[in-house]
Chain A
Amino acid sequence: MNRRTLLKLAGVSVVAEGLAIACGGAAAPSPSPAAATAAAAAKPTGRISVYSALNESTNNEFVKAFKTAYPGIEVDLLPLAAAGELQTRIKAEKDSPKADIFVGGDRSFHDGLGKDGLLEKYTSPNASAISDAAKDPTGSWTGWYFGIFGFVANTDRLNKEIGGKTPKTWDDLLDPAWKGKLVMPDPVKTGGGYIFLATQVFRFGKDEAKALDYMKKLHPQIAQYVGTAPQGIQLVSQGQFVGGPNWSHDILTEKAKNPGIALAVPENTGYEVGAVSIVKGRPAANLPAAKAFVDWILTKEAGELNVKLSNRVSVRKDVAPAPGAPTLEQVKLVNYEPDFANANKDRLIKAWQAAVGL
């Protein structure tokens, strides 16, 4: 690429931005059909700031769809696919909050903010369709998707070295054929790795000795514990390792780019509940628009869009899963207790380190 093309590209984008501004400006003062005007009159207007831990491609489509549903609301979206960082940022900004909405990321990140009193309580009318397990009883946050822990395999190497069999249970990974061929997120450094460790604890009915014994036997099978969860999928996709436990939606996203990998969901697996919440302390005028965003996120339409774009599973029963994605009925989830997992984090991680000798 030479400089001229670069300049041309930059020019195109400036023009595109100009157009977008022109269109936005034109659309607001000239509302179209009369029916829409009547509806829009009842709908809140304003400008909200959304902190989003969702994937980049999901963000753009989401904002577009939301603006179609609520033309009167402008959205400033801050994208950062790292919920822990966003949670920290919202905590650090508490003297003068900058976000109206925090969307995406496991419920534990929202729960932490709620317990610190940083979230506005709101129970959306659309939340009635959602099971109690997926929403906060006090209304600080509402769950709207599930992320299910699965298993990624490099098909080529799986066929050649393991005999083509993906694991049906987590115990299958103890098969000697897997020795030194797995890669998984580090329980010390990643939320996903810790969910895997906690899953084992719940799988054995909180018999921690059994769970740690399993992790100890699994240890020689693991070639690497990696520092970020997506890296584990990438390494399997490249064929550096044969397989590994990881997030099933992310595995499907990579599979769309590289068909040479496969997804399996062993039974008694762990999961995250992706949540949405409203941040406290923003101008009162923003609240109706923020509530409208939460209402919209919980609709069937938004659920379907999220499933399509991120391969995650909607909490709504009426939203079909993405092609190839596991449904909640198909997979057998472990009885995961997020509060227990959070409260015992340091202790379990230390026990794991002692058990595997790291």
Chain B
Amino acid sequence: MTRTVKRGSPMTKTFLNKAFILGAGLTLAACTSPDRFGSDSAVDLNNSAGSVAGSASDPTSPAYFQQAVGDRVLFPVDQHTLTNAAQSTLDAQAEWLLTNSDYDALIEGHADEQGTREYNLALGARRANSVHEYLVSRGVPASRLRVVSYGKERPLEICSTESCYAQNRRAVTIISIGTGV
């Protein structure tokens, strides 16, 4: 299962707990499915030096992806093309996903509140798709990626000025445990 997570929201703590559980689950899975994860990966998962598996300091953890790699890219008004900064973030996301191949990702596209509900749903889908296409172009298998649009339904910042709108025009890559497909 996947769930929507916003940095800085009350959900974050819950997410980290979930991530920890996911990490623990992986450790278990690695023991029972050595073929799938390979020995290197299994060693990483079990023995990340000086870090707790699943925490943000564990580079194989979703929390690390969210906080250190950067789980989101931002878009200009009414745009879905990727800025240079967005491409750099997505390069790092692609690298992480290729390294941590036991995870899948859900890409959420969002819009700010200026616009109709319908158009913003379509716009959010364009943004999520831009990220999807970029990650695939960097070698991430499309089978590991899904996209969803929330339009303007889930603003991260709730003020009605450009400072908030800029944060809300986003595509967020949410890491989930792989389906093994």
The answer to whether A and B belong to the same complex is no
Chain B residues in the interface with A (C-beta under 8 A):
none
Chain A residues in the interface with B (C-beta under 8 A):
none
